[in-house]
Amino acid sequence: MTFKLKSAISIACIAAFAPAAYADTSNNDIPEIVVTAKGEQSTDDVLYTAHVFTEQDIEQAQVKSIPALLQRIGGISTTDSGGRGSATSVFVRGVSTSQIVVLIDGVRVGSATLGAAALNSYPVEAIERIEVLKGPFSGIYGADAVGGVIQLFTKKGQRNESVVSASVGSNNLREARAAFGIGNERNSLHISADVEETDGIDRTSILTGGNDDVDAYEETAFSLGARVSFTDNTVANLNLLATDNTVEFDNLFGDGVGNQTENETFSAAFNLVHQFNDSITWTTTVGANEDDAKTTSSFPSRFKTERDSLGTEFQFNLSDNTVITTGVDYYEEDIETTSNFPVTNRDNTGAYAQIQTGFGKLDAVASLRADDNSAYGDQTNGSLALGYLFTDTLRLSASYGTAFVAPSFNFLYFPFFGNPDIQPEESESIEVSLTGQAGNTYWRVSAYQTDVENLFSFDPLTFTAANIGEAELKGVELELNTTVYDWQLGIQADLLDATDKLTGIELDDRPERSLSLNASRNYGDLNLSFDVRSETGRFDRRGTAIAGYGLFDVSAIYQLTDNLSVRANVDNVFDKDYTVNLATSTERFNTEGRQAELTLRYTF
């Protein structure tokens, strides 16, 4: 079963959306429903730890990448390999990028050879909303949901608004963006394009072989979002996102001249929702994703993934407090590489069910899913979460779940390394959270532990991939949000212990202690925001300690007129020299010093 969707979706776009009529509306409120959690759970009702960035949150943050935005969430850290556009890993409660599901508009994205999504490849300007669920979600989403799910929602254009903007900044940064939007809650169209260039920084401390140069980054992106309400009960959505990024890099072991990677991504989601009545809703999503990385260096390579998917889901609202969600999905992955992989195709079929219910002050959510993959066989996983409401503003939640990580094509079939008998990583997770609210102050304390077995590794006896190792990740998160004298204040603090259970060595790239503070306030047409972020206890290269650091950022937005605004931000105000990642035993990946950016934005 193979879907070739680029042409099909283009035809669907012309046929379904061209005749639509649009009307003006000023209402663009987004319901605080956590779509990723299924069953129309609101942010107040989700029993797992959930975080939501709205469009306003994203614009006010003024960050250059999605990983930079995500690390503002407690329990999430990032590691890059030398500044803007470099390979970046995102860790959720110590769980790595390859152990997290990434969705764009409900469609799974990422490289099937690396087994992870390049979150830094997607332009933050095209994103309307981000939802993050922490915890094991293989009971709904199948493979790779050990640490949770990150879902990006592209802009839909539910109001008559168009935007043009231009930015300049440090390292000869130049960026231009244009977006066109028209519509209302029933019918809408949004089209945007973005171009960015920067001379960049020298990505490593290596100064030999021509590596003592700056490494540039270029990005172009295009997105389209369209919505048509055929009837009051039937709605179709189409979302496209295409990116083309080129990043120069240093050679860790030789000549650094002319090394670059071009990464092209494409994601498409065609979604049809039909509400039969007040109790039954049917949703079907057809998706496509491409991830194509071409590297020019002494050892040129190309790794391309094509993933086509189809899923259908029913939601049954049995009563005011009982909802059942059931669904089946299928995806097929094809790879194309310059290496001679013996197998270049696999497919996965999954079926899942979730029930949400309540009994007085007790709420419960349970899920179960079965997967059948042509490469590694069957997997069954599930989760259970319970919540008890002591008062209207104090709740205790507890959850348990299992999850698994699918072996990538590299682990299965890479020449002279892959092992076709390697099995998925498997995990068990528990979490206990206490959340409360007093006046305008919201707080949360969460304790968690995840144990992962059958870790993907390298067997020195056979020189091939193998399931060797176990990891234990446990920690505590504290989150507090409040208002003091019109200042919006946020505090996130994290303690993490991530170790290899067989050796006792701390796992690389996970800070043991993290703290972030955010303060923002409006002064009429001026919005000011201050961010402080610090971490200690980071290790790399199997136990090598990295010094802690603290960073201070400031940003402002000033509304000059109803249509024109100026935005400015300075990151790393005190020009702190710090390290998050080692390139070799003696060299490091450089980090960006003080960075400033100025943007003019016109809305019409």
- What's the confidence (pLDDT) of residue 68? 94
Closest CA to 589 of 177, 79, 228: 79
Q: Tell me, yes or no, whether 49 lies in a domain.
A: yes
Q: Tell me, yes or no, whether 264 lies in a domain.
A: no
Rounded Cα distance, 558 and 434, in Å: 38
Q: What share of the chain is helix, strand, coil (3-state, %, to 5)?
A: 10, 60, 35
User: How many Cβ atoms are within 10 Å of 385's Cβ, its own excluded?
Assistant: 21
Contact indicator for 39, 378 with CB cutoff of 8 Å: no
Q: Tell me, yes or no, whether 263 lies in a domain.
A: no
> Which run of H or of E encompasses 143?
none
Low-confidence ranges of the chain (pLDDT < 70): 1-31, 158
DSSP 68-97: HHHTTSTTEEEEESSSTTS-EEEEETTB-G
Contact indicator for 357, 324 with CB cutoff of 8 Å: no
Q: What is the pLDDT of residues 61-109, one digit of tens each?
A: 999 999 999 999 999 999 999 999 999 999 999 999 999 999 999 999 9
Ranges of beta strands (E only) in 48-187 are 50-53, 76-80, 88-92, 100-104, 107-108, 127-134, 148-154, 163-169, 173-183
End-to-end C-alpha distance for the chain, whole angstroms: 46
Contact indicator for 180, 217 with CB cutoff of 8 Å: no
Contact indicator for 85, 123 with CB cutoff of 8 Å: no
Give the tokens for residue 592: 């960006």
What b/e readout covers 222-242, taking b as 16+ CB neighbours within 10 angstroms?
bbbbbbbbeeeeebbbbbbbb
Q: Kindly list the distances between the CA atom of residue 485 and the CA atoms of 382, 403, 440, 488, 522, in Å, as whole numbers in the listed order.
A: 45, 44, 12, 9, 11
Write the DSSP symbol of residue 161: -
Rounded Cα distance, 406 and 412, in Å: 10
- Bridge partners (DSSP) of residue 433 are 397, 446
Which SS3 state, helix, strand or coil, does residue 55 take? helix
Q: Tell me, yes or no, whether 259 lies in a domain.
A: no
Which SS3 state, helix, strand or coil, does residue 137 take? coil
Q: Kindly list the distances between the CA atom of residue 76 and the CA atoms of 80, 148, 234, 514, 521, in Å, as whole numbers in the listed order.
A: 14, 11, 38, 9, 25
Rounded Cα distance, 520 and 483, in Å: 10
Closest CA to 101 of 326, 294, 369, 283: 369
Global confidence as pTM: 0.93
Rounded Cα distance, 49 and 446, in Å: 8
Task: Compute the radius of gyration of the chain from its Cα atoms.
Answer: 23
Which SS3 state, helix, strand or coil, does residue 512 take? coil
Q: Kindly list the distances between the CA atom of residue 352 and the CA atoms of 77, 156, 324, 427, in Å, as whole numbers in the listed order.
A: 30, 28, 11, 18
Write the DSSP symbol of residue 59: H
Q: Tell me, yes or no, whether 465 lies in a domain.
A: yes
Give the tokens for residue 471: 């990891």
- What's the confidence (pLDDT) of residue 336? 97
> Which run of H or of E encompasses 141?
helix 138-141
Closest CA to 48 of 395, 524, 380, 404: 395
Q: Tell me, yes or no, whether 515 lies in a domain.
A: yes
- What's the confidence (pLDDT) of residue 340? 92
Instruction: Work out how many domains the chain is built from and give that number.
Output: 1
Closest CA to 314 of 354, 348, 350, 371: 354
Q: Is 481 exposed, middle or buried (0-12, 13-18, 19+ CB in 10 A)?
A: middle
3-state secondary structure 551-585: EEEEEEEEECCCCEEEEEEEECCCCCCCCCCECCC
Contact indicator for 17, 238 with CB cutoff of 8 Å: yes
Which SS3 state, helix, strand or coil, does residue 13 take? helix
Give the tokens for residue 176: 């231009």
Q: Tell me, yes or no, whether 420 lies in a domain.
A: yes
Residue type, 408: S
Sequence-distant (6+) residues with CB within 8 A of 439 are none
Q: What is the pLDDT of residues 537-584, one digit of tens each?
A: 999 998 899 999 999 999 999 999 999 999 999 999 999 999 999 999
Q: Kindly list the distances between the CA atom of residue 259 and the CA atoms of 202, 211, 221, 252, 492, in Å, as whole numbers in the listed order.
A: 13, 10, 22, 11, 39
> Average pLDDT, whole number, for the chain?
92
Q: Tell me, yes or no, whether 313 lies in a domain.
A: yes
- Residue 555 backbone dihedrals phi, psi, to 5 degrees: -145, 160
Contact indicator for 570, 563 with CB cutoff of 8 Å: no
Task: State the pairing for strand pair 100-104/148-154.
Answer: parallel
- What's the confidence (pLDDT) of residue 184? 87
CATH assignment at residue 597? 2.40.170.20
Structural domain for 162, as ranges: 5-252+270-603
Q: Find the Cα–Cα–Cα–Cα dihedral 228, 230, 236, 242, rounded to 10°.
A: -30
Would you give the distance in Å from CA 171 to the centre of its chain? 26
Closest CA to 384 of 339, 423, 431, 350: 431
